Amino acid sequence: MKKRGTRDCLAEYNGIIKENDDIYRNLARIFGLSECSFWILYTLRTNDTALAQSEVCAYMYQPKQTVNSALKKMESEGYLKLEKGKDHRSKQISLTAGGIRLCERTVDRIIESERGALGRMTAEEQEMFLSLFHKYTDLLRQAMQDISRKE
């Protein structure tokens, strides 16, 4: 195997990330969903419990305003309900029957495909993939914090 330099590895990594983003972006478009709406539905379907709006924002790493706009639109289309949480400040998000049907036609199929793709890796490959991705993310976060501290 040819040894690559850091610059080449970074370029390939960035290409892979962009390709993955493009896969999801195209599927959202095919399904007639905005990217934000797609990821809201995805987040709701991959969590076992009802989520507050703030939790969805945290899972998606998106600003509250962006998520709120998409939630309001999806609520007006009849796909979900926004209800006051126990503290009356947060909003709990739940899918309506129409929202569940939408998920079954869209994000549920994608989640199943993702599981299938990961399932084609051995258990060791899955662990290595996640371990190295976490390690890179942690190292990147540290390096970026160093930049922000200097600014």
> For 12-48, what is each residue's pLDDT tens digit?
999 999 999 999 999 999 999 999 999 999 999 999 7
H/E stretch holding 86? none
Residue 139 to residue 44: CA distance in whole angstroms = 29
Q: Is 117 exposed, middle or buried (0-12, 13-18, 19+ CB in 10 A)?
A: exposed
24-46 burial: b if 16+ Cβ within 10 Å, else e: eeebbeebebebbbbbbbbbbbe
User: For residues 64 and 50, which has the higher predicted lDDT (pLDDT)?
Assistant: 64
Question: Does residue 88 have a pLDDT over 80?
Answer: no
Set out the domains of the chain in order of their start, with CATH numbers: 6-120 (1.10.10.10)
Tell me what the pLDDT averaged over the chain comes to.
94
A 10 A CB-CB count for 78 gives 12
pTM of the predicted model over 0.75: yes
| 88 dihedral zone (left: phi>0; alpha: psi -120 to 50; beta) | left
